[in-house]
Amino acid sequence: MEQEPGVRLPHDYISPGNRLIPWATTDNGEYLFWLVRPGQDPDEWTIMINEEGGEEWERYAMTVTRFLPQVLAGEVRSEVLWSRFPEEVHSFRPALSLQD
């Protein structure tokens, strides 16, 4: 598995054909990825969260459509994301506007 520069995935996830696909970042610099294994259905992709600039990782075996409402409601708690996450008011911004 090729790793993104500056991203250190736990060794037990490094296998030929595995890929990390970034899908979100926070204002504090944490990144959320899908861990994609060859032949795996997208509904089975593992969510991986990496602390800003560090080697600490969390994993969640759930879809994004299940993870986001639960983490924003405080039903899923992360040790990697900012200690005051989630804030009362949430916002989403695209990383790149396709209309520009």
The CA distances from residue 37 to 11, 13, 28, 84, in Å, are 14, 9, 28, 32
Provide the pLDDT for residue 34: 92
Q: Per the domain annotation, does 66 fall within a domain?
A: yes
Question: Per the domain annotation, does 86 fall within a domain?
Answer: no
DSSP tag of 58: E
The answer as to whether 28 is a domain residue is yes
- 19 within domain boundaries: yes
6 within a domain of the structure (yes/no)? no
Establish if 84 belongs to a structural domain.
Answer: no
Query: In the prediction, which pLDDT does 2 show?
Result: 45
The three-class DSSP label of residue 74 is coil
Domain with 53, as residue range(s), is 11-72
User: How far apart are the C-alpha atoms of 48 and 62, rounded to whole Å?
Assistant: 10
Alpha-carbon span 44 to 35, nearest angstrom: 9
Query: Could you give the number of structural domains in the chain?
Result: 1
Which pLDDT belongs to residue 63?
A: 93
Kindly give the confidence (pLDDT) of every residue in the chain, 100 residues in length, as a single tens digit, with 9 standing for 90 and above: 444 555 566 666 677 888 888 888 888 889 999 999 999 999 999 999 998 877 789 999 999 999 998 988 889 888 888 777 777 776 777 766 555 5
Query: Does 22 reside within a domain?
Result: yes
Whether 80 is in a domain gets the answer no
What local confidence, expressed as pLDDT, does residue 97 receive?
56
Query: Cβ(85)–Cβ(78) under 8 Å?
Result: yes
